[in-house]
Amino acid sequence: MSDRITEQVAGLDATAQAELVRLGDVSSRELVEGAIERIERLNPQLNAVIHKLYDRARRVAEGSLPDGPFRGVPFLFKDLGGGDSEGDPCHLGTRFLRDAGWKAPGTSFLVRRFREAGLVDVGRTNVPELGAWTTTESEAYGPTRNPWSPGHSSGGSSGGSAAAVAAGMVPAAHANDGGGSIRIPASACGLVGLKPSRGRVSLGPAVGDTWAGMVHEFAVTRSVRDCAALLDAVSGPMPGDPYTAPPPRGPFAEELSAELRPQRVGLLVESPAAAVHADCVAACEVAARALADLGHRLEPVSALPLGAEEDAERILDVIAAGQARDVERYAQVLGRELGPDDLDCDNWTVTERGQQLSATDYLAGVEALNHATRAAASWWDERELDVLLTPTLPAPPAQIGELVADPAHPMQGFERSGAFTAFTIPFNVTGQPAISLPLHWTVAGLPVGVQLVARYGREDLLLSLAAGLEAALPWSDRRPPVW
């Protein structure tokens, strides 16, 4: 492709790129070569892609690709969780797996489904150590920088994926979310980020659930239509899943053009867990006016019945237990003990907390999550809400280094990072679907996302509302300085 055509293709979403391949205007190999060129040119500025799988991507692009909806479109997988692909590097942002040259022993159901959709994997993206933080700044691989302002964080833990998509390296990328890790980087980088309902996308076969059902797998995209079509491609139960979401009414992609009755939308812009920046309130006001113009009913609501100090401690117990088990599992496969010299200071502190918990402590944490979920469901019913509108983040993107721990105060970074989950982690607890949309930018040019949340199993409603907002407040022509 010429440089002009390459630039034009880079600005297209995955659906449009796949259409070019179907029409024969561009080959899969050309799309892949364009993505490789952009990664090589932009990655030195952003540090988004840490494992490059170019030779295999070229072979796959020239081979017999599945005739899926995204046939021939380049894609990236996050180096954590459901991005596992047998024989490929898998380091979870850790020095100990990097130094061991660890490779994934198996391929996840999710990777198989993305590939069956026709996507071509060109590499793996950067993550914070063990995926534990809301900024992507590991000691193993260094910080991923935000394409809108390289002095700022791209968010976490899917910060590498978000930076790559926002910069135009690829049109979409894998991401996962245990406390906001799809929605937070989507907000920070000006993307669409959907956390599906619990059980909508399988975590198998290596995992049944993670963090007592708080972790969800999916992607970050530039358009709502890509989000819907990708969800159609990868959702649905797999053998052995411990639970699954209710079947959708029909293809999610068809919801984008479906007629939608007026919805009752609750507007929540305060949290007991964090002070909310004026730009984040302004973003919600922009979204609220647009929804009202579309015929929906807006009403202010009070804080969710989740976020008390006791709830936060129980959530941390569940996360710490899961992290301690991860560290134990990798110590077993590496054949050596892992200690404080192997992890950053706050991750080791959280791991030690998990090691000291009893089985009954962990189960008490799970019980607390269940109680909080039922309280949230009752709160929703009492107010007869269809949808909740909140900021995605309580503040614009943090600066690089702002959320990193000081060894003298090992939990300080964790606590600062945790404050960024004030509006996101409640819906990891409840399992409800939530989507972040790029509807506002600060005067300095930083993206600020807004979050829409629906009842459990109602991704269809979120996608329909998101499509209306995308049409009313389009973002597709916006380009970051690093593009």
End-to-end CA separation in angstroms for the chain: 18
- What letter does residue 168 receive in the DSSP assignment? T
Would you give the DSSP letter of residue 136?
-
The DSSP letter of residue 201 is B
> Is-catalytic flag, 103?
no
305: which DSSP letter? Answer: S
Let me know how long the chain is.
483
User: H or E segment at 454?
Assistant: strand 447-454
Q: Which of 28, 85, 138, 157 is catalytic?
A: 157
Rounded Cα–Cα distance for residues 46 and 388 (Å): 34
Tokens 């996962």 locate to: 176
Contacts of 66 (CB under 8 A, 6+ apart): 115, 116, 117, 118
DSSP class per residue in 326-357: HHHHHHHHHTS---TTTS-HHHHHHHHHHHH-
* Six-digit token string for 174: 């894998």
- The set of residues, in sequence order, having a beta carbon less than 8 Å from that of 448 and lying 6+ positions away, is 187, 279, 280, 282, 283, 391, 392, 393, 396, 438, 439, 440, 441, 442
378 is catalytic: no
For residue 157, indicate whether it is catalytic: yes
Active-site choice (85, 153, 181, 235):
181
How far is residue 194's CA from residue 438's CA, in Å, rounded to a whole number? Answer: 12
Positions annotated as catalytic residues are 78, 157, 181
